[in-house]
């Protein structure tokens, strides 16, 4: 796979865009720190979950009304909606927070996420690790993740570790993919990718890691907690896009885009299902026939089209997809599309969110990756 040139207009444009976004991120994060903005932040939800579980019957964590009342009592002025939608395993990496103050927990969480991303970058991009890491951290998606205390740094690190290690260290890749089951929607295409490529060792290791996490959760918490999750999840799913109080503008999937436009939920779900089927077939074909790095880029991009619950902060992984697939001498339209994907989270934070459909540039990027794969030799897999 050819690498990005270090001279020329394309390189200078990439430097300019990343530098401008880095400056914006520093200014925005500095403002948030200076003004001590705390209310209605996603990290508050993570910090509240283990506290609630430690002081209430743990199955009530899936009772949105009880959890919201607890959060409102915990944070004066809190008026957001943060139910616990995760499997019981997610409580394991959050449990330490019940013993740490909010401020220190947020610092530890953010630093740990950046450190995980920095450790993963060399595995996937051994030749361009620092450039890619800078682009990841400077991205508008990273700004949203860092300012809200979300999980994107960790999930992107697991994805980069998994796909960076898979060709030579499949056991390590399997562990990373198994840990990604903590937020399983971001790994929805990975089992198909591994099966198509015949990665038996990675599949076995991922399965054992996921089972170990589930077993630990059954030791730490009542096993019946899994039944509570299974029982409540369909209702959460049915109500999610019907709620007018949710920020659909930061959900970047086909179903969310359509509902935000006023399309009936059942039509949006039909389109989402069709999108999943199409992306799965295309990604499976690329996994079997295409160059490895382009197949990975297709999977990272297709993940946001294949499932309904991905957010703007999760799209840090789309920057990694760009780094995997950007050709040596990109055409003007390819540069424009890459810039749009990179800057898109800013659109979602502006009044333009009413008409900006994030799934459209995602679909265009997946199409561009496919076109590139068709004219790239399968063996062109040199490290980035």
Per-residue pLDDT of the chain (384 residues; tens, 9 = 90+): 344 445 566 677 778 888 888 888 888 878 777 776 555 678 889 999 999 999 999 999 999 889 989 998 888 777 777 889 899 999 999 999 999 998 899 999 999 999 999 999 999 999 999 999 999 999 999 998 988 889 999 999 999 999 999 999 999 999 999 999 999 999 999 999 999 999 999 999 999 999 999 999 999 999 999 999 988 887 777 666 665 445 666 788 998 888 888 888 889 899 999 999 999 999 999 999 889 999 999 999 999 999 988 989 999 999 999 999 876 566 778 888 888 999 988 887 777 777 788 899 999 999 999 988 888 766 555 445
What's the pLDDT at 38? 57
Residue 148 CB partners (closer than 8 Å, separation 6+): 41, 42, 43, 313
What is d(CA 131, CA 205) in angstroms, rounded to the nearest whole number? 31
Q: How far is CA 249 from CA 42, 198, 313, 353, 354, in A?
A: 15, 38, 12, 6, 7
Tell me the longest C-alpha to C-alpha distance in the chain. Answer: 61
For the chain, the structural domain boundaries read 9-374
Rounded to two decimals, what is the model's pTM? 0.92
Residue 249 CB partners (closer than 8 Å, separation 6+): 260, 348, 353, 354
Here the tokens at position 189 are 């295409």
Here the tokens at position 165 are 């290690």
- Stated as kind and residue range, the H or E segment containing 225 is helix 224-240
């Amino acid at each position: 796979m050819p690498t990005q040139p270090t001279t020329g207009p394309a390189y200078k444009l990439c430097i300019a865009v990343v530098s401008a976004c880095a400056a914006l991120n520093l200014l925005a994060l500095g403002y948030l720190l200076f003004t001590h903005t705390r209310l209605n932040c996603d990290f508050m939800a993570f910090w509240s979950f283990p506290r609630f579980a430690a002081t209430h019957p743990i199955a009530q964590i899936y009772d949105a009304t009880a959890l919201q009342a607890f959060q409102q009592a915990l944070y004066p002025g809190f008026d957001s909606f943060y139910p616990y939608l995760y499997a019981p395993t997610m409580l394991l990496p959050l449990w330490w927070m019940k013993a740490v103050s909010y401020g220190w927990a947020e610092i530890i969480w953010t630093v740990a996420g950046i450190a995980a991303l920095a450790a993963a970058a060399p595995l996937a991009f051994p030749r361009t690790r620092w450039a890619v890491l800078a682009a990841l951290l400077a991205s508008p998606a990273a700004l949203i993740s860092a300012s809200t205390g979300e999980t994107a740094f960790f999930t992107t690190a697991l994805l980069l570790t998994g796909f960076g290690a898979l060709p030579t260290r499949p056991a390590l890749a399997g562990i990373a993919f198994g840990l990604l089951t903590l937020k399983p929607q971001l790994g929805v295409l990975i089992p198909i990718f591994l099966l198509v490529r015949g990665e038996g060792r990675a599949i076995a290791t991922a399965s054992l890691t996921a089972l170990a996490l589930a077993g630990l959760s059954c030791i730490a918490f009542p096993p019946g907690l899994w039944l509570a999750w299974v029982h409540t999840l369909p209702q959460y799913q049915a109500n999610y896009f019907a709620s007018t109080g949710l920020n659909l503008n930061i959900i970047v999937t086909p179903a969310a885009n359509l509902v935000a436009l006023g399309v009936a939920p059942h039509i949006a779900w039909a389109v989402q299902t069709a999108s999943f089927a199409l992306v799965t077939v295309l990604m499976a074909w690329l996994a079997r026939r295409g160059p490895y790095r382009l197949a990975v880029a297709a999977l990272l991009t297709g993940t946001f089209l294949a499932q309904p619950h991905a957010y703007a902060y999760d799209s840090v992984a789309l920057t990694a997809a760009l780094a995997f697939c950007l050709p040596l001498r990109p055409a003007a339209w390819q540069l424009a599309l890459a810039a749009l994907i990179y800057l898109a989270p800013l659109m979602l934070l502006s009044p333009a969110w009413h008409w900006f459909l994030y799934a459209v540039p995602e679909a265009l990027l997946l199409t561009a990756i496919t076109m590139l794969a068709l004219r790239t030799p399968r063996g062109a897999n040199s490290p980035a």
